[in-house]
Amino acid sequence: MKKNEPRICVNCSNQTPDQAAARCPQCGWKLTKLTPTRLWACGWVVAAAGGFITGMMVFVIWATSHSEFTGTARDAAFEFWMFTLISVLGLFSVLAGIWLIRHRKMNKMILYGFFGLAGLLIITIMMSLPLSS
Ligand SMILES: [Zn+2]
């Protein structure tokens, strides 16, 4: 890993070569230790995790479609929504990871997309808690 890599601003993707800079000169956001190499590595981790999740969901959907369903229609609808959400999250991770690997830049769409999907998933899990026994 190179030591004098530019820092990437999470807010505006501006690259700052100044290692001592505490804030982004373009937008004033606090700079993190995010560098293109680290972002690239993150991309691989995210893509691998997304691929794993997607693969797992494909298996789960395949497995459930080959077993008899004993729950109610509400359970079925919930399961379908859950599977869809996790599959989308997995696919989104793969695409986001590939994007990060290719561009080595931060993307706000990816950031918000992740927060949005993760938020939806958390809400779904929280709502399912009193139902599952
Ligand atoms: Zn900035």
Instruction: Tell me the per-residue pLDDT of 78-88, one tens digit each, with 9 for 90 and over.
Output: 888 888 999 99
In this structure, the number of other CB atoms found within 10 A of the CB of residue 130 comes to 7
Distance 94 CA to ligand 1 centre (A): 26
The residue among 9, 82, 76, 16 whose CA lies nearest residue 39 is 9
- The pLDDT of residue 43 is 95
Ligand 1: centre distance to CA 23 (Å): 8
Amino acid 46 reads V
Spatial distance between the Cα atoms of 85 and 93, rounded to a whole number of angstroms: 12
Give distance in angstroms: CA of 125 to centre of ligand 1. 35
Contacts of 110 (CB under 8 A, 6+ apart): 96, 99, 100
List, for residues 43-74, the tens digit of each pLDDT value: 999 999 999 999 999 998 888 888 877 888 88
Q: What is the pLDDT of residue 37?
A: 92
How far apart are the CA of 18 and the centre of ligand 1, in A? Answer: 13
CA of 114 to the centre of ligand 1 (A): 20
Rounded Cα distance, 133 and 119, in Å: 23
Q: How far is the CA of 41 from the centre of ligand 1 (A)?
A: 21
Residue 21 CA to ligand 1 center (angstroms) comes to 12
* 30 and 22 Cβ atoms separated by less than 8 Å: yes
In tens, the pLDDT along 83-116 reads 899 999 999 999 999 999 999 888 888 889 999 9
User: How buried is 33 (Cβ within 10 angstroms: 0-12 exposed, 13-18 middle, 19+ buried)?
Assistant: exposed
Strand partners, 30: 23
The pLDDT value given to residue 40: 93
pTM over 0.85: no
Q: How far is the CA of 120 from the centre of ligand 1 (A)?
A: 28
**Rounded to the nearest whole angstrom, what is the distance from the C-alpha of residue 71 to the centroid of ligand 1?**
50
